[in-house]
Structure 1
Amino acid sequence: MIKNDYKIYDFNLDFHAELLLLAKKAWHFTYSNIMKPDVLNERLNDWYSEQNHKGISENVKNGKYFFKVVFLNKQMVGFVSGNVNEQKLDRLYIDPDEIGKGLGALLLQMFIDELIKVNKKTCLLYCDKNNSIGIKFYKKKGFVIVEEDEEDYKMVKNIEVF
């Protein structure tokens, strides 16, 4: 059941620290038994650095990048980001405590709605092969695996535009 109390915002640098905390919580939940702690922390600190977020924040302001954060009771519980022009979902994370409550579906639909607005017909993403939770979720939402490399599955979903 999706809560009506979610507050949704465009990403900006004011959300950097909370986003990093949520990413750490989600990554540790998903990868702690798969990835060495030093590798996990190195990737998190690289991908979610303030410097990286500065550029993303500017692209969100300029309408060149889609990035929404979701709060519940003043706590960030999820985020979704991607490049609409490339039809590519980059990240969809939710607080592990929110799994199974519809937040992931809401975030995915927000991105797909943006694709529909600009008449895109597909959505693609890359999901780590070890992310069984993500793979199961995306397959349930209609994504299929079309390619794979050493680490990731490339998954695609056709979008029905009405």
Structure 2
Amino acid sequence: MSAWAGGGYGYRLLLRDGEPAGSSGLGANAFALPNGTVVMTDQLVELGRSDRELIGVLAHEAGHVTQRHGLASVYQALGLGLIVTALTGDVVSASTFAAAVPVALVQGGYSRAAETQSDRIAARYLLERYGTTRPLQTILARLESAQGGAGGLPDLLNTHPGTDARIEHLRRLEDAAR
């Protein structure tokens, strides 16, 4: 999958214990760092019922890497820090802010547009390889169910597309490919 994704990145997959979701744990999750490192939690691996589901997640994360979504997030966060420093002259706060950027990247996630774009890239891979986007649809639905349903912020306020919208988008991509 990494050869297919391309982009000249030395992709690495790290498996880590995400601990139970909550204030200190990531739970079942995966995220990509700008250098091509993809971190997948043991909890997500346990949630997956097939290699194809996990490959769908990896293809989605590779989409974030090749489209430089993480790098864009870091630049945006650093730009905000520089503006605050310029306005306040507080260099100590700027260094604290810069140290917090990696944490913000992991916890903040990506925009709706970035998530949709990465889903589209994962769909393309899954369709070329397996002829269906069903594995990614299935694990997304199971992930939402495991996390207790839609809950949280109303969809209009959330920065991520809702799971139902993502699954419907994957279905439409599959239908269009037929």
Scaled by the length of structure 1, the TM-score of the pair is 0.34
More helix by share: 2
Scaled by the length of structure 2, the TM-score of the pair is 0.32
More strand by share: 1
Structure having the higher Rg: 2
